[in-house]
């Protein structure tokens, strides 16, 4: 019985097949897209209802024309005109900034040219002094010490050949 327990199937089937993974991912994607579509439809219907109530309450023809969306994103003509004015102001500020940058660049260029001409003038005005290389004193060869004669061996004493008892 113990041998059969080792080969028993697990209680839950593991999802290791790739098709199961693709199906799970597809279902999750469809659920997300459906939720986004539902929110978008509800927002569009709310915007349409609020725009129709504004048009009915306006009364004046010019206000009705300005509040009617003229783009696919729901912007009105008044909003577009306001945005165009903001862009024109920003463009004029950028032009002024560009002009300022150009003037600073020209000033820096003039300064660098003056600095290079000043360096060239200093180089041409300076006396032409060519440094002569200094002679390098070579050290005098050091005489090697004379070899000392080998010491003469000391005369050996004659050893007595007699035995003392």
Closest C-alpha among 157, 23, 79 to residue 68: 79
Return the bridge partners of 69, or none. 76
- Range 77-91 average pLDDT: 91
Q: What is the distance between the alpha carbons of residues 78 and 84, in angstroms, rounded to a whole number?
A: 10
CA torsion sign for 58, 62, 67, 71 is positive
Q: How much is the pLDDT for 61?
A: 47
Strands (E) in the chain, as ranges, are: none
99, pLDDT greater than 90 = yes
CB atoms within 10 A of CB 126: 8
CA torsion sign for 65, 69, 71, 72 is negative
Q: What is the distance between the alpha carbons of residues 137 and 76, in angstroms, rounded to a whole number?
A: 95
Q: Are 51 and 65 in contact (CB under 8 A)?
A: no
Higher-pLDDT residue of 14 and 132 is 132
- Range 25-41 average pLDDT: 83
Higher-pLDDT residue of 137 and 74 is 74
Higher-pLDDT residue of 27 and 123 is 27
Q: What is the distance between the alpha carbons of residues 117 and 127, in angstroms, rounded to a whole number?
A: 18
pLDDT tens by residue, 40-73: 888 888 887 776 665 555 554 454 455 677 777 7
Q: On the CB side of 62, how many CA atoms lie within 13 Å of its CA?
A: 1
36, pLDDT greater than 50 = yes
The angle at the Cα of 15, spanning 14 to 18, to the nearest 5 degrees, equals 150
pLDDT tens by residue, 117-165: 877 777 666 555 666 767 776 776 777 777 777 777 777 766 656 666 5
Q: What is the distance between the alpha carbons of residues 82 and 91, in angstroms, rounded to a whole number?
A: 14
């Amino acid at each position: 019985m113990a041998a059969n327990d080792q080969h028993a199937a697990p209680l839950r089937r593991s999802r290791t097949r790739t098709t199961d993974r693709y199906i799970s991912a597809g279902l999750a994607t469809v659920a997300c897209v459906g939720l986004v579509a539902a929110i978008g439809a509800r927002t569009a219907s709310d915007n349409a209802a609020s725009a129709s109530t504004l048009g009915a309450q306006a009364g004046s023809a010019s206000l009705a024309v300005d509040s009617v969306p003229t783009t696919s994103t729901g912007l009105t003509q008044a909003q577009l005109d306001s945005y165009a004015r903001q862009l024109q102001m920003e463009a004029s500020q950028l032009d002024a900034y560009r002009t300022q940058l150009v003037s600073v660049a020209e000033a820096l260029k003039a300064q660098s040219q003056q600095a290079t001409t000043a360096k060239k003038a200093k180089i041409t005005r300076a006396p032409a002094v060519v440094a002569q290389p200094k002679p390098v004193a070579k050290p005098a060869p050091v005489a090697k010490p004379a070899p000392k004669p080998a010491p003469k061996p000391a005369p050996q004493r004659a050893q007595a050949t007699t035995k003392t008892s």
